[in-house]
Structure 1
Amino acid sequence: MNTEGLVEVVLPGKVKPEGLQIRHGAIPAPGPGQVVVRVEATGVSFAEQQMRRGRYYDQPPFPFVPGYDLVGTVSATGEGVAPGLSGTRVAALVKTGGWASHVIVDAADLVEVPDGVGAAEAETLVVNGITAWQMLHRTARVRPGQTILVHGANGGVGSVLVQLARAAGVKVIGTASSRHHDALRARGVVPVDYRAENVPARVRELAPDGVDAVFDHIGGASVVASWGLLAPGGTLVAYGSASTRDDEGSKQWPVLKLLGRVWLWNSLPNRRHAYFFNVWAGRALSRNRFRARLRSDLARVFEALQRGEVVAQIAASLPLTSAAEALRLAESGTVAGKVVLTP
């Protein structure tokens, strides 16, 4: 009989980080087609920062357990699941529920983590790696020799994206505060200080004919400027609305406004393209295809990690019960990479 017990972090409402609650209970039993994953690492994504403010556009009603992704070991299997899956280290994209010691996941949603890859390393590359890979190779379809602009090049997604781009032979301009510039230069990225420089003017100096792709998580005025920096045939990939994180009012409006701009820009008689990237896109239409892509793309990211093309950037590692401190640190803007929680 398992006597470990369940530990999970609850977001009770719109609260400061210290308003998070720790809840204890019994480890749930898996249903048909499900497994219980004993979590070894989960993390703080930008999504949780929005969720605690009630600003993530499709978050569930309060209270709920946040946690966008996780890495752990299968500890129990339900009916219809191969018993041999027990003991396997896996990764999963869950959107919510990951900030817990044990999580029920559909077995079909699991991606095996290669031997030799640590749990915290793998965690930094689940949602961030899938997002970066799919935006680069499925949406923008970058090619060697092209030049791209990555906003937030030191962040969770940005830090993975610039490394994957460099591995693909792409030239990268990355925005970040000056404290991160040396690290970006070491990765072959041309840094731009978004606090001290006029970003559009500086990018035009570096790429007079425009860039082939822009990856913009900021939204608002930034995404308009990003569109104007594209070369003919270039692609804008918008994947967030960070500039509205602390706003009040409708949480859907920033995304709807962004979608409207994307539709308008694509209707114009020009050769540029705009996309709003959502890692969950297509799941409702074809769950099997979504799962196949997720397995394939995350496997490629893990392969890049094993080849040394990507370095897992762990900003900090804290216990699950220190989720408030971890969230506060992630929101501070002072760290590079991803803050990891380890139950």
Structure 2
Amino acid sequence: MRAVQITEFGGPEVLNVTEVPDPVPGEGQVLVEVSRAGVNYADTHQVEDSYLSSAKLPLIPGGEVVGTTPDGRRIAAMIGHGGYAEKALVHEALAFDVPDGVDDVSAVALLVQGLTAWFLLNKSVHFAPGESVVVHAAAGGVGSLAVQLAKSMGAGRVIATASTQDKRDLALSLGADVAIDPATEDLTAAIIEANGGKRVDAVLEMTGGRVTDQSLAALAPFGRLAYYGMASRELPKDIQLNALMSHSSTVSGFWLAHAFANPTLLKQAYAELAAEVAAGRLKVVSGGDYALSEIREAHEALRARKTTGKLVVNPSK
């Protein structure tokens, strides 16, 4: 089968399409003919071996797929690696049936990105109706879904950040009440101003560096910041525990892999998200449908932060 395989770590230049043997299912696994594989920012870290879990070579990247099983089931699934290929192995525990009315791009977008948005709001910041929330990178895959989910959960105010006016306009079209530029010199003041002069209740943050630092400073008493990525590749300042006492703030980290231990909850979350898409209440923004041979371009666009919504790769092309 055709697949993207890396034999050394690095940037997009190490991604090469090649022929490899078909994978053979083991116990608890099923073989899927992949119709679309998701492309996530985490994949760029996996390719350069800078992610939370270390990778081993040779490696076929790609952590999520949608496709068809030999018995005709249409499923979407999260996998550790192997997604950028015509066929992939899926563990049944992390496979989700895709209902009618949910297209391939949406089906795969609801995996890493949709489930991340769901868990951030429901489990990390325990978001409640009437609260305010800042969604950073609101035009991205997670952010674009988190904006909509927060509104559907009764948010009092959704404050989006995005790096260009087009991206900010997209966030507003998805339901954000206000959209601001994260490059604003005093981001803390900009967030508070966007919330009508009040500090905010929750922040979903995946940028790192000064964005994390200044978002933390904008939290209201009992405010919560969930940190789930570092797109800038810049570490935020170390957090002093005594400083958190000044506003009774909570800072949490999130990595979706830790949710894998609860497949029942994962399936519940995916089913809820898929139902919202099928009913037309949750919109997945398509950020590009790339051919397998264009995988370098997809990674380059992600690393340059030029993308919006969900990027996928089509292994049949």
Alignment TM-score > 0.5, same fold: yes
Cα distance in structure 2, aligned partners of 1:224 and 1:334: 23
RMSD: 2.1
- Written as runs of structure 1 = structure 2, the 5 A alignment for 1:5-154 is 6-75=1-70, 86-154=71-139
Cα distance in structure 2, aligned partners of 1:114 and 1:318: 24
- Structure 1 residue runs without a partner (length 5+): 1-5, 76-85, 246-253
Instruction: Using the TM superposition, give the Cα deviation of residue 60 of structure 1 relative to its aligned residue in structure 2, in angstroms.
Output: 1.0
- Is contact 2:30–2:91 with CA below 8 Å preserved after alignment? yes
Q: Match for residue 341 of structure 1? A: 313
In the alignment, structure 1 residue 188 sits paired with structure 2 residue 160: no
Cα distance in structure 2, aligned partners of 1:282 and 1:164: 19
Q: Residue 106 and residue 144 in structure 1: after superposition, are their counterparts in 2 closer, same or farther (change >3 A)?
A: same
- Is contact 1:266–1:273 with CA below 8 Å preserved after alignment? no
1:308 to 272, 275, 280: 280
Letter paired with 1:141: H
Q: Match for residue 242 of structure 1? A: 231
In the alignment, structure 1 residue 222 sits paired with structure 2 residue 211: yes
Instruction: Using the TM superposition, give the Cα deviation of residue 49 of structure 1 relative to its aligned residue in structure 2, in angstroms.
Output: 1.7
Cα distance in structure 2, aligned partners of 1:32 and 1:61: 22
Instruction: Using the TM superposition, give the Cα deviation of residue 269 of structure 1 relative to its aligned residue in structure 2, in angstroms.
Output: 7.0
Determine helix, strand or coil for the equivalent of 1:310. Answer: coil
- Is contact 2:38–2:109 with CA below 8 Å preserved after alignment? yes
Letter paired with 1:195: A
Q: Residue 231 and residue 276 in structure 1: after superposition, are their counterparts in 2 closer, same or farther (change >3 A)?
A: same
- Is contact 1:159–1:337 with CA below 8 Å preserved after alignment? yes
TM-score (ref. length: structure 1): 0.84
Q: Residue 40 and residue 173 in structure 1: after superposition, are their counterparts in 2 closer, same or farther (change >3 A)?
A: same
Determine helix, strand or coil for the equivalent of 1:242. Answer: coil
Q: Match for residue 160 of structure 2? A: 174
Cα distance in structure 2, aligned partners of 1:299 and 1:217: 25
Decide which moves more: 136-145 or 196-205: 196-205
Cα distance in structure 2, aligned partners of 1:181 and 1:203: 14
Decide which moves more: 110-119 or 48-57: 48-57
Cα distance in structure 1, aligned partners of 2:180 and 2:288: 25
Instruction: Using the TM superposition, give the Cα deviation of residue 321 of structure 1 relative to its aligned residue in structure 2, in angstroms.
Output: 2.5
Determine helix, strand or coil for the equivalent of 1:125. Answer: helix
TM-score (ref. length: structure 2): 0.91
- Is contact 1:265–1:273 with CA below 8 Å preserved after alignment? no
Instruction: Using the TM superposition, give the Cα deviation of residue 29 of structure 1 relative to its aligned residue in structure 2, in angstroms.
Output: 2.5
- Is contact 1:265–1:274 with CA below 8 Å preserved after alignment? no
Decide which moves more: 48-57 or 96-105: 48-57
In the alignment, structure 1 residue 201 sits paired with structure 2 residue 189: yes
- Structure 2 residue runs without a partner (length 5+): none
Cα distance in structure 2, aligned partners of 1:305 and 1:18: 35
